[in-house]
Structure 1
Amino acid sequence: RQIANKNSNKTVFLNKCHFTWDLDCSKPKLLRLTHKMEDFSTEKGNRWLGHNYNLWGFIQYKLGLKEEAKGSFQKAAKTLNKLRNADEGAWLVVNYGNLAWLHHDLGELEESQAYLSKVHLHPEIPSPSQDKLHPEIYAEKAWTLMFLKKDMNLVVDYFEKAASMQPDMVEWNTSYVIASFNAHKNNNMRLDTDLLEKMRQAKERDPENLYLAALYLEQHAAEVRELAGNVSTLCCSNSGMWTLLNLYRKYISADEAIVLAEKVLKEHPDVRFLKRLVAFCYRWRIVYKSRNYPDPEQSMVDRAIPLHEELLKLYPDDTLENEIDLATIYAKSHHSKDKAEQIYQKLLTNEPAVPKDKQMLYNRYATHLYFNLNDSHRSIEYHMKVAAIPEKSSFRKNSIRVLKKNKDRGIEEFLRNLQEPTQ
C-alpha cells in the first residue's frame, strides 16, 4: 500500500519520526540550531551523534534544504549502526520514518514505501494503536525535546520510561537524571535526597560525562577545583565546559573562570564553542560583575572585543545577540564607548521581525541607557516597549519587574492595561 497522503497516513508514523512530534520552530531559531548542530557533531565520544544527525536532517528539511536533509538522515543511520555495533535494530525506526517522509515529499514513492514498510513491519515496534512506544523511540524523542528546550516534564517522563525498559543503556539513565535536575531547577524546586542519590549513582555508571559530573559537583563546590584540574583528560563538551565555568564563576571567581577557559581554548584552539565560552567569561567579568569586582583593566576589554567580533563570523545566524554582546563590551571601554551606541542605533534602525528578538534588543538597550548613559527616562521608555509586546520571554519578565519598581501613575496604569501573552 503506497502512501497517498502524508496526513492521512500519520497514524502509521505516529510518534515514530520527527515530522509527527510537533517540533515547529521559527526560521531564526532553526538557523541558530544549525550552528548548535554543527558544534554538537564535533564533540568526541558523543553517544547522541546519530540522534543529532536525525534532528539536523529535520531542521534542514524545514529550511528547504531537502537534499542536505537526505544526507543527514543517511549519516544518522550509519552513525547509529556504528554506535550500536550492528546493521539493523529498533534504533533505526525513527530514521526510517524520517526517510519515508522525505522520499515521499521528493516524489520518490517507491523508496518512501520501502522505508515505511520497515517502520510498519519492524518486529520490535508496537502497532500505531498501542500507547506504549519502544524504548529507542522514547529515548530519541526525549533527547530531541530536550535539545529543542521543549516540555521538560515530558522529557523526564520519556527518559525514565526508556531507562526503566532498557536499564543497560547508561546514557539514557544519565539523561533521565540530568533532565530531572533541570526540571527541578526550572520549577525552582530544591533537590531532594533521592535525586542527589540518583545523580551520584549515574555519575558512577557514567564517569566520563563531564556535564553530569559538573552538575553533581555543583552540590559539592569544594571539589570543583579538582574537576577543573582533570578537565583536559575529560571529554571536552560544550555543555560540560559551560557548567564547569559557571561553577567557577559562582564558587571561586570570574577571573579564575577566565584563566581556565583560556587554558582549555589554548589546548583546543580550533573548537568553535570554546571561543564562545571564553567570550562569555570575559563579558561576565567586565559587564555583570563590575559592581562586585574592581573595574576591569583596559587590557581585559581589549582581549574581549576581538573575541566577540570573531563570534559574528563564527555564528552568522546569531548576529543580533552577538552584536548586542559586543556593544556591552564597547560600553566598558575607556576609548571606544561611542561604538556601543553606534551598534545599538544600527540594530534599532533595522529592528528584528521576531517578537522575542525585538524584546531582547529593547531590554538590553534599556539596560545600556540606564547603567552606561544614566538616562533613566529613555530606559523606562524601552522597558515599556518590551512589556507592550504580548510574548512570553525572560526579557519581558525583567522589564515588567523594572517597571513595577517605578511609582509613576502613568506606568502603573500602563501595567494594568497590558495585553497578556497568548502563549
Structure 2
Amino acid sequence: MSEESDGKLIEDSLIQLRCHFTWKLLIEAPEIPDLENRIWEEIQFLDTKYNGGIHNLLAYVKHLKGQNEEALKSLKEAEDLMQKEHANQASVRSLVTWSNFAWVYYHMGRLAEAQAYLDKVENICKKPSNPFRYRMECPEIDCEEGWALLKCGGKNYERAKACFEKALEGDHENPEFSTGYAISAYRLDGFKLATKGYRQFSLLPLRQAVSLNPDNGYLKVLLALKLQDNGQEAEGEKYLEEALANMSSQTYVFRYAAKFYRRKGSVDKALELLKKALQETPTSVLLHHQIGLCYKAQMIQIKEATKGQPRGQNREKIDKMIRLAIFHFESAVENKPTFEVAHLDLARMYIEAGNHRKAEETFQKLLCMKPVVEETMQDIHLQYARFQEFQKKSEINAIIHYLKAIKIEQTSFIRDKSINSLKKLVLKKLQRNALDLESLSLLGFVYKLKGNMNEALEYYERALRLAADFENSVRQGP
C-alpha cells in the first residue's frame, strides 16, 4: 500500500477520535497568545487535582503555532500526570492524550507513530458494549472536552456547560464534573447580566461544587461574587474570607476577591490584591482590566465628591487616575486584541482624557468586531452614539448609532438606555424646530417601542400631515 493511501486511511481514523483536534474549539488567531499565557498561569498558579487536561490543551496550542516538537513534550507531560492523578483509570483518561499524539504525529508526517497511538486507542475502545472503533462515550472524556471549551473563550461556554451536564448525568457527586459545571454556569451568568428577564442559575451549582470541594478557594471566591450579585453580600464575605485565609490558588483568589471589594466600594483594598497578583502574572489580561476599572472607580469617587467640579489637587488626582486606567486598559487590549469590553472601557477613558482621536480609533476597531454577546454590540453602538452626540456634536451620527443599538432586538437595559437617549435627543431637536419631519417620525418610533401606541400614532400622523403639506407646497410652486 502506498504512503499516500496509508495517510488517507489514518486520516479517516483520526477524524473518529475524541480530542482537541476534533472538538472544533473556536479560537481566533489573535487570541492564541493570551490563551497560551492563561494556560501557563493555570499550570503555575491554580492548585488542582486535575492537571493532565491543561497540558493537552497546551499541546494543541503549540501545534496551532507550528511547534509540533513542543506539542509532543506537553503530551508526554499530560500522559505522566494522568498516570499519577488517575492511576485506577489511567487508560481511559489517557484516551484524549493518545488521540492528540496520533494527530500531532500525523501532521508531522510520522505515520507509523500516528498508527501506533491509534492502535493504543483502539485497544481501550474494544469492548462488547462499545460500537465505535476509535472512540468511547464516557463522562471523563465529556469532562475533558468541557475543560478545553471553557478555557478557549466565551464562544465555547454553552458547549462547555453541556459537556459538564452530560458528565454529571453519569456521576452526580463527582467533584471535578461539579466544578466544571459551576464555573461554566458562572461565566454564562456573567454574559447575561445586562439581559432583562434573564434568570441567573449559577448560585446552586456553585454551592454544590463548594460542598464537594471544601478546600477549593477559587470556587469559594466565585460563590462569594455570585452571592454579592444576589444581594447576599454578608454571606459572600464569609466565603471570601475563607478563600483568602486558604493558601490555595492565591493568585486566582486575589483576582476575584479584588472584584468583590471594588464592587463593595473598597477600591484601595481591591488594588492592593490586584497588584500582588500582578507581580506573579504581569501579562494577565484580566488583572490589567480589573486594575483599570479600579482607577476608573477612584476617578468617579473624586468627581462625585466634588460634584463634577474638581480643582487643584483633586483635578491632578483625576488626571493621574485617567492616565493609569488608560495604561492598564491598553495593556489588556494589547495582550488580547479581541477583548471587546476592555476596548470599550479604553474608549471611554480616552474621552475622559479629551483624546477624541484615539477614542474614535478605538470605536472604529470595536465596530468591526463580532462580540459573542449581543448586549456588548448594543453597548458599543450606545457609547459611540453618545460620543458622537456630546463630544463630536454630530446629531446625525448619534441617531444612526442609537438606532443600530435599538435594532439589535435582544431585550436589555442597554437597549432601554439607547431608546431613552434617542428620545432625549429627538425632543431636543424638536425644541429647536417643531416642524422637523425626521424627528417627529423618530419620536413616533420611540413611543411605539415603549408600547405607547396613542402617542406613537399622534407623532406619526403629525409627520404625515407635515409631509403632505410640504408636497402640496412643492406642487403649487412659488
Smaller-chain TM-score bracket: 0.7 to 0.9
2:218 pairs with 1:216: no
Q: Which has the larger radius of gyration?
A: 2
1:70 is matched by which residue type in structure 2?
L
Question: Are the structure 2 counterparts of residues 411 and 127 from structure 1 closer, same or farther at C-alpha, using a change threshold of 3 Å?
Answer: farther
Q: CA deviation at 1:68?
A: 4.0
> Is 1:36 matched with 2:38?
yes
The aligned residue for residue 91 of structure 2 is: 89
Q: Over residues 198-257 of structure 1, what are the superposed CA-to-partner deviations in whole Å (9 max), with x where a residue is unaligned?
A: 54343233123234323433333113444444526343467654544443344x22xx04
Judge conservation of contact 1:369–1:379 (CA < 8 Å) in 2: yes
Instruction: Report what 1:118 is aligned to.
Output: 120
Among candidates 133, 139, 145, match of residue 141 of structure 1: 145
- Contact residue 120 and residue 127 of structure 1 kept, 8 A: no
1:419 corresponding residue in structure 2? none
Compute the displacement of 1:111 (Å). Answer: 1.3
CA contact 1:279–1:307 (8 Å) conserved in 2: yes
Once the 2 structures are TM-superposed, how far is the Cα of residue 175 of structure 1 from its aligned partner?
2.1
Tell me the equivalent position of 1:262: 272
Distance change >3 Å, CA 209–CA 299, structure 1 → 2? farther
Cα displacement (A) at 1:302: 1.5
Task: Pick one of 343, 346, 370 that aligns with 2:358.
Answer: 343
Q: Does the aligned pair in 2 maintain the 1:11–1:128 contact within 8 Å?
A: no
Q: Kindly state the Cα deviation for residue 363 of structure 1 after the two structures are TM-superposed.
A: 5.5
Q: Over aligned residues, Cα RMSD in angstroms? A: 4.5
Matches of 1:383 and 1:48 in 2, distance apart?
47
TM-score normalised to structure 2 length: 0.66
Q: For this pair of structures, how many residues does the alignment match?
A: 399
The separation in 2 between residues aligned to 1:319 and 1:12, in whole angstroms, is 34
Shift in alpha-carbon separation, 1:237–1:169, aligned structure 2, 3 A: farther
Deviation at 1:97, TM superposition (A): 1.0
**The one of 394, 398, 404 aligned to 1:379:** 398
The aligned runs of 1:207-356 (5 Å cut-off) are 207-217=214-224, 218-219=226-227, 220-230=232-242, 231=244, 233-236=246-249, 240-250=253-263, 252-253=264-265, 256-266=266-276, 269-272=279-282, 273=284, 274-286=287-299, 297=314, 298-299=316-317, 301-303=319-321, 305-306=323-324, 308-309=326-327, 312-313=330-331, 316-319=334-337, 325-332=345-352, 337-338=353-354, 340-347=355-362, 354-356=369-371
Call closer, same or farther: CA 1:80–1:265 in 2, change over 3 Å: farther
- Give the gaps of 5 or more residues in structure 1: 417-423
Gaps of 5+ in 2: 424-438, 449-478
Please state how far the C-alpha of 1:109 moved relative to its aligned partner. Answer: 0.4
Q: Does 1:402 align with 2:402?
A: no
Opposite residue 234 of structure 2, the aligned amino acid is: A
> How far 1:173 sits from its partner (Å)?
1.9
After superposition, the C-alpha distances for 1:107-147 in whole angstroms (9 at most, x for unaligned) are 11011111111212115884527996122201111222233
Q: 1:309 to 1:153 in 2, by over 3 A?
A: closer
Output the CA distance in 2 between the equivalents of 1:351 and 1:59. Answer: 26
Evaluate the alpha carbon distance shift between residue 26 and residue 92 of structure 1 in structure 2; reply closer, same or farther with a 3 A threshold. Answer: same
TM-score, scaled relative to structure 1 = 0.73
Partners of 1:386 and 1:68 lie apart in 2 by 45
| Partner of residue 211, structure 2 | 204
157, 160, 168: which one pairs with 1:155?
160
Cα distance in 2 for residues equivalent to 1:344 and 1:290: 21
Q: In structure 2, what is the equivalent of residue 420 of structure 1?
A: none
Identity of aligned residues (%): 19
For 1:223, the aligned partner's letter is: E
SS at match of 1:25: coil
Deviates further, 305-314 or 275-284: 305-314
Question: What secondary structure sits across from 2:280 in the alignment?
Answer: coil
Partner of 1:8: 12
Between the aligned partners of 1:393 and 1:58, the Cα distance in structure 2 is 35
Q: 1:58 to 1:366 in 2, by over 3 A?
A: farther
SS of aligned partner of 2:45: coil
1:173 has 2:178 as partner:
yes
Summarize the Cα distance change of 1:249–1:96 in structure 2 as closer, same or farther, 3 Å threshold.
Answer: same
1:70 shift after superposition = 3.5
Q: Structure 1 pair 305/163, CA: closer, same or farther in 2 (3 Å)? A: same
Measured after TM superposition, the shift of residue 96 of structure 1 is 1.2
C-alpha distance in structure 1 between counterparts of 2:48 and 2:305, whole Å: 38
> Deviations along 1:353-384, whole A, 9 cap, x unmatched?
65449968666443444466665543334455
